[in-house]
């Protein structure tokens, strides 16, 4: 900034340089890998014209992709089996990538084979389970049918002699059908999904025109379907039919309904034998399957132990080849040429690293490191820590700073939470917020390593912003004297008292000031009084303007810092000076009047003064005069403001034109375009120097800038009134919750109502005040910084430094 | 306590905070300057807020009129 001071952290982005690395082919992989570990070099793509398939290392990338696919397959299998990979097991048994590729292939083959076998076994097992069910249920059915038939037989024999009306018709028929005439009935047994059982029955009935007898029983437990492997509720059925045609029809229907049929024999002896056989097979299969699953689990566990390590290795490998693909091959095909941006401070580190890589890879030739000179604008890189990162991100989301321009983050760290707190002044709420963030801050190590939800992630990222917001809200809460909207007499006695002992006038004429003003913050006596709102409104409105003017002046001062840094006298004299004069001759003067009015206790009308300062500056001020010579001062200020406008508008374009002409004076020869292309890619950005100077364009640009500033001065000052509006809304809302919920519930003298009141109060406070109000105050503070503060100096048209870094890569994947 | 005495207290607190950060977080001249800026900005913000509220209550034009219910 200035010569006498050391450069301030974060004020300017790091100095960057464009460097060229010439790396021998044999050490290129290791070099890039080391650079990825360091993470301070942003490679430029020198093969932008080539498609991904035409590049040198396309095959290696394909291989890495294949390995990544295998790893994803393993992850899927592991999550199915309920095995979780330990997040970071740093058991450093170094494995080569080629070995890993072979190993992954073997493991995949083993796993797929195992899965196929297991699947087959499982299917057989499920079929057997179903078969067993059929055997049991149908067996029961046949058994009961047999016993009923036998009973009927006996009954019939008994009844044969005595015919009566009671004899049911059906038995009559059955009786008449003697065994010789009986038609041979066929039957099927099987299982059908329960939800399909009704349509199944209906279709069967229709298709065979009722010449079918279907019997169903429900299987108590859901059965695993062999085909799909899902648990399904099923019914066991037995179908009796007669005739070949009916048989084919039934078979087709069974198939259509996914009803599995199983052979069944009428003979009880055979049934028992089958049942025994099936049970035997089942237990055998169970042990086989269990053994298989155990084996698979073990395999997956061993994979899981090293999974994260492999995963990182593969991703690193892939990114290394991606980077290598961005380098251009030298004509001799013996070395690779890389170009990229790196911060100047990293020069030594990178050189050491190149040296180490050469040694490690036993290369005969050392890599060459050289700095290129370019007109291209370098990327913007701020070295932030865990505290400042969130603030830098707030600024970055508006626009990345131009290279080396003044960084608003330096002030945002304080002013952002401060302006938030002006809108969120309540030390009770501040303490709640503080407790929440303290939890996040204290447990940041643990929380940082685990995955959080979307909203939680955002809260965690901004924990230091919220921490500062909470601390400042506690401070402003003391200033506003509000604790969940309740005032406390913490800093001495109220300055006001009754006029006399009887205190009759207190509700009509009001109290009277008997002491010095309340020493810290707002006098508690105002709370709940009839004149609270007029007083608070006047105070907060004026406070907003004062804070706003202060912050806008700070913004213009930042533009001064920029101008001195870039050594642009034009910007100082024809931008900064008129701007600061314009703003302060109008709104600086207003601020001065506000303070003066407070100090003198004058009853002058500030609106009147400000309006007539423009309308009729020569008129007498009368009773609105705050200080002697005010009229002259006002005329001078008004003239200054009027002069400042053309001062901002006109000289700068003309001076720029002169400068441009001077620079190109005597240049009767225009450099050939071909010359430039000979210089190779290093001169890529040098077109900028020869660009045409369009005077009208510059003038229009300056005109827009001037108009924006002049109108902005008014509208931005008005915009700061949102501080007043939001802080008013906050205090009114918390008063409502306190008075109309908590105090109302208290008034009933009933424990039950009180508890309900407390619960409602807590929910309203948390939901509306702590969440919604925090959000809205946050957004308004954001706007005040982005628009009102930053438009005074911030260009924000840079681009971010994005180094090739493994740690960044890992973060992103997560 | 008048306006100037309390302002002086703010100043003293600011200086103490500056010294504290200088002693506790000494991380080279650039970072120290950054810390100094933060502490000064914070102190100025807090002081401004207090000063505004204090000044507004010094010679108020409105007096508090109590509510009848109270």
Search chain B and give the residue with CA nearest A512: B63
User: By C-alpha distance, which of A480, A498, A499 is closest to A490?
Assistant: A480
User: By C-alpha distance, which of A685, A475, A95, A113 is closest to B49?
Assistant: A475
Nearest chain B Cα distance for residue A531, angstroms: 5
* Beta bridge pairs of residue A193: A234
H or E segment to which residue A23 belongs: strand A16-24
Contact A523 B50 (CB under 8 A): no
H or E segment to which residue A538 belongs: helix A532-565
What ipTM does this complex have? Answer: 0.96
Contact A410 B34 (CB under 8 A): yes
Q: How many CB atoms lie within 10 A of CB A446?
A: 8
Counting DSSP H helices and E strands in chain A, the numbers are 28, 13
Q: In chain A, what residues touch B68 (CB-CB under 8 Å)?
A: 507
**HSE, side-chain direction, 13 A CA sphere, residue A443:** 9
Picking from B58, B63, B67, B68 by the largest number of A CB atoms within 10 A of its own CB, the best residue to mutate is B63
Query: What confidence score (pLDDT) does residue A674 get?
Result: 46
- Any B CB within 8 A of A533 CB: no
Query: What confidence score (pLDDT) does residue A381 get?
Result: 94
- Any B CB within 8 A of A529 CB: yes
DSSP letter at A57?
A: T
- pTM of this structure: 0.80
- Contact between A370 and A19 under an 8 Å Cβ cutoff? The reply is yes
In B17-56, the residues whose Cβ lies within 8 Å of chain A are: 29-31, 33-34, 37-38, 41-42, 45-46, 48-50, 52-56
| Region label for A642, one of left (φ > 0), alpha (ψ between -120 and 50) or beta (otherwise) | alpha
- What SS3 class is residue A382? coil
- Any B CB within 8 A of A535 CB: yes
Query: Which residues, 6 or more positions from A510, have their beta carbon under 8 angstroms from its beta carbon?
Result: A529, A531, B63, B64, B65, B66
Class of residue A633 by CB neighbours under 10 A (exposed 0-12, middle 13-18, buried 19+): middle
Query: Which residues, 6 or more positions from A594, have their beta carbon under 8 angstroms from its beta carbon?
Result: A542, A545, A546, A606
Nearest chain A Cα distance for residue B26, angstroms: 13
Query: What confidence score (pLDDT) does residue A273 get?
Result: 87
Query: Which residues, 6 or more positions from B54, have their beta carbon under 8 angstroms from its beta carbon?
Result: A517, A519, A520, B3, B6
Contact B53 A10 (CB under 8 A): no
In chain A, what are the helix, strand and coil shares in percent, each to the nearest 5? 65, 10, 30
Candidates A10, A530, A603; nearest CB to B61? A603
Search chain A and give the residue with CA nearest B62: A535
How far is residue B28's CA from residue A345's CA, in Å, rounded to a whole number? 15
Angle A272-A275-A281 (CA atoms, 0-180°, nearest 5)? 145
The secondary structure of A394-446 as a DSSP string is HHHTT-PPPTTPPPTHHHHHHHHHHHHHHHS--HHHHHHHHHHHHHHHHTHHH
Q: What is the pLDDT of residues A266-318, one digit of tens each?
A: 777 888 888 888 899 889 999 999 998 898 888 888 888 888 888 888 888 99
Q: In chain A, what residues touch B56 (CB-CB under 8 Å)?
A: 538-539, 542-543, 598
Nearest chain A Cα distance for residue B40, angstroms: 10
Contact A530 B66 (CB under 8 A): yes
- Contact between B51 and B7 under an 8 Å Cβ cutoff? The reply is yes
In A231-290, the residues whose Cβ lies within 8 Å of chain B are: none
- Any B CB within 8 A of A507 CB: yes
Contact B64 A510 (CB under 8 A): yes
Query: What confidence score (pLDDT) does residue B56 get?
Result: 93
Query: What confidence score (pLDDT) does residue A179 get?
Result: 47
H or E segment to which residue B11 belongs: helix B3-24
Candidates A7, A9, A543; nearest CB to B52? A543
Search chain B and give the residue with CA nearest A475: B46
Query: What confidence score (pLDDT) does residue A603 get?
Result: 87
- Any B CB within 8 A of A512 CB: yes
- Any B CB within 8 A of A14 CB: no
Q: In chain B, what residues touch A510 (CB-CB under 8 Å)?
A: 63-66
How far is residue A559's CA from residue A587's CA, in Å, rounded to a whole number? 19
- Which parts of chain A have pLDDT scores under 50? 1-3, 172-181, 674-689
- Any A CB within 8 A of B67 CB: yes
Contact A530 B46 (CB under 8 A): no
Candidates B6, B31, B49; nearest CB to A519? B6
Candidates A414, A529, A595; nearest CB to B64? A529
Search chain B and give the residue with CA nearest A413: B38
- Contact between A392 and A382 under an 8 Å Cβ cutoff? The reply is yes
Q: Which residue stretches of A327-367 are H helix? A: 347-360
Q: What is the pLDDT of residues B24-55, one digit of tens each?
A: 988 888 899 999 999 999 999 999 999 999 99
- Any B CB within 8 A of A513 CB: yes
- Any B CB within 8 A of A5 CB: yes
- Contact between A12 and A406 under an 8 Å Cβ cutoff? The reply is yes
- Contact between A25 and A335 under an 8 Å Cβ cutoff? The reply is yes
**HSE, side-chain direction, 13 A CA sphere, residue A705:** 24
- State the count of interchain CB pairs (< 8 A) between A and B: 133
Search chain B and give the residue with CA nearest A481: B53
Query: Which residues, 6 or more positions from A711, have their beta carbon under 8 angstroms from its beta carbon?
Result: none
Contact B34 A507 (CB under 8 A): no
- Contact between A293 and A118 under an 8 Å Cβ cutoff? The reply is yes
**HSE, side-chain direction, 13 A CA sphere, residue B51:** 20
Angle A309-A310-A312 (CA atoms, 0-180°, nearest 5)? 65
- Contact between A306 and A86 under an 8 Å Cβ cutoff? The reply is no
Residue B15's pLDDT band, with cuts at 50, 70 and 90, is very high
Class of residue A424 by CB neighbours under 10 A (exposed 0-12, middle 13-18, buried 19+): buried
User: By C-alpha distance, which of B50, B3, B2 is closest to A480?
Assistant: B50
- Contact between B43 and B14 under an 8 Å Cβ cutoff? The reply is yes
- Contact between A414 and B42 under an 8 Å Cβ cutoff? The reply is yes
Query: What confidence score (pLDDT) does residue A679 get?
Result: 45
């Amino acid at each position: 900034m200035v010569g006498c001071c050391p450069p301030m952290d974060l004020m300017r982005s790091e100095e960057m340089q464009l460097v060229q690395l010439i790396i021998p082919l044999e050490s290129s992989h290791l070099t890039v890998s080391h650079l990825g570990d360091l993470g301070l070099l942003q490679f430029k793509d020198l093969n932008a014209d080539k498609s991904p398939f035409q590049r040198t290392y396309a095959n290696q990338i394909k291989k890495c992709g294949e390995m990544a696919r295998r790893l994803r397959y393993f992850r899927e299998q592991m999550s199915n089996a309920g095995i979780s990979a330990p997040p970071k097991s740093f058991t450093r048994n170094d494995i080569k990538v080629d070995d890993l590729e072979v190993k992954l292939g073997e493991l995949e083959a083993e796993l797929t084979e195992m899965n196929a076998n297991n699947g087959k076994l499982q299917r057989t097992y499920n079929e057997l389970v179903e078969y067993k069910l059929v055997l049991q249920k149908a067996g029961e059915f046949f058994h009961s049918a047999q016993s009923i038939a036998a009973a009927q037989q006996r009954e019939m024999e008994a009844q044969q002699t005595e015919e009566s009306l009671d004899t049911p018709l059906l038995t009559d028929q059955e009786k008449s059908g003697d065994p010789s005439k009986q038609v041979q009935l066929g039957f099927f047994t099987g299982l059908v999904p329960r939800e399909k059982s009704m349509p199944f029955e209906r279709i069967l009935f229709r298709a065979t025109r009722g010449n079918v007898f279907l019997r169903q029983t429900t299987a108590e437990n859901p059965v695993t379907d062999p085909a799909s492997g899902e648990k399904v509720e099923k019914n066991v059925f037995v179908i009796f039919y007669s005739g070949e045609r009916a048989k084919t029809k039934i078979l087709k229907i069974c198939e259509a309904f996914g009803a599995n049929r199983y052979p069944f024999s009428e003979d009880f002896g055979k049934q028992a034998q089958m049942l025994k056989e099936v049970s035997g097979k089942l237990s055998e299969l169970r042990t086989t399957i269990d053994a298989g699953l155990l084996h698979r689990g073990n395999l997956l566990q061993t994979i899981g132990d090293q999974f994260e390590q492999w995963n990182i290795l593969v991703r690193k490998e892939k990114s290394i080849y991606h980077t290598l693909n961005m380098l251009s091959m030298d004509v001799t095909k013996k070395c690779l040429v890389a170009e990229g941006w790196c911060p100047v401070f990293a020069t030594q580190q990178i050189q050491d690293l190149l040296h180490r890589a050469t040694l490690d890879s036993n290369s005969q030739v050392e890599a060459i490191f050289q700095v290129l000179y370019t007109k291209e604008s370098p990327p913007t890189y701020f070295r932030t820590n865990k505290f400042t990162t969130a603030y830098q991100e707030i600024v970055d989301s508006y626009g990345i700073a131009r290279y080396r321009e003044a960084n608003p983050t330096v002030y945002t760290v304080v002013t952002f939470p401060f302006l938030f707190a002006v809108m969120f002044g309540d030390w009770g709420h501040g303490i709640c917020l503080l407790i929440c963030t303290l939890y996040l801050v204290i447990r940041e190590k643990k929380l940082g390593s685990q995955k959080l939800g979307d909203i939680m992630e955002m809260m965690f990222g901004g924990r230091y912003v919220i921490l500062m917001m909470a601390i400042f809200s506690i401070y402003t809460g003391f200033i506003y004297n509000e604790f969940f909207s309740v005032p406390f007499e913490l800093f001495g006695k109220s300055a006001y008292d009754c006029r006399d002992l009887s205190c009759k006038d207190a509700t009509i004429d009001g109290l009277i000031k008997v002491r010095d003003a309340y020493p810290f913050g707002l006098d508690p006596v105002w709370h709940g009084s009839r004149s609270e709102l007029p007083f608070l409104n006047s105070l907060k409105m004026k406070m907003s303007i004062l804070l706003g003017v202060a912050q806008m002046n700070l913004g213009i001062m930042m533009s001064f810092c920029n101008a001195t840094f870039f050594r642009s006298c034009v910007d100082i004299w024809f931008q900064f000076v008129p701007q600061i004069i314009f703003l302060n001759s109008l709104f600086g003067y207003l601020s001065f009047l506000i303070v003066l009015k407070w100090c003198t206790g004058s009853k002058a009308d500030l609106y009147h003064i400000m309006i007539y300062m423009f309308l009729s500056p020569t008129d007498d001020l009368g009773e609105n005069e705050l200080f002697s010579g005010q009229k002259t001062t006002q005329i001078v200020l008004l003239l200054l403001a009027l002069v400042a406008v053309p001062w901002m508008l006109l000289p700068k374009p003309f001076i720029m034109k002169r400068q441009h002409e001077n620079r190109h004076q005597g240049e009767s020869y225009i450099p050939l375009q071909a010359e430039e292309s000979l210089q190779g890619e290093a001169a890529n950005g040098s077109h900028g120097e020869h660009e045409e100077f369009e005077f009208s364009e510059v003038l229009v640009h300056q005109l827009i800038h001037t108009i924006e500033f002049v109108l902005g001065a008014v509208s931005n000052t008005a915009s700061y009134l949102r501080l007043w509006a939001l802080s008013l809304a906050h205090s009114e809302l918390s008063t409502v919750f306190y008075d109309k919920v908590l105090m109302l519930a208290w008034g009933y003298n009933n424990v039950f109502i009180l508890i309900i009141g407390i619960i409602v109060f807590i929910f309203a406070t948390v939901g509306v005040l702590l969440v919604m109000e925090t959000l809205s105050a946050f957004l308004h503070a954001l706007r005040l910084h982005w628009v009102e503060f930053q438009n005074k100096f911030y260009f924000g048209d840079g681009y971010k430094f994005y180094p090739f870094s493994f740690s960044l890569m890992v973060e992103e994947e997560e | 306590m008048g306006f100037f005495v309390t302002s002086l207290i703010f100043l003293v607190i600011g200086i103490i905070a500056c010294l504290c950060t200088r002693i506790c977080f000494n991380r080279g001249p650039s970072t120290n300057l950054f810390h100094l800026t933060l502490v000064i900005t914070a102190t100025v913000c807090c002081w401004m807020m207090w000063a505004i509220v204090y000044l507004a209550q010094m010679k108020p034009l409105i007096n508090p009129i109590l509510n009848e219910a109270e």
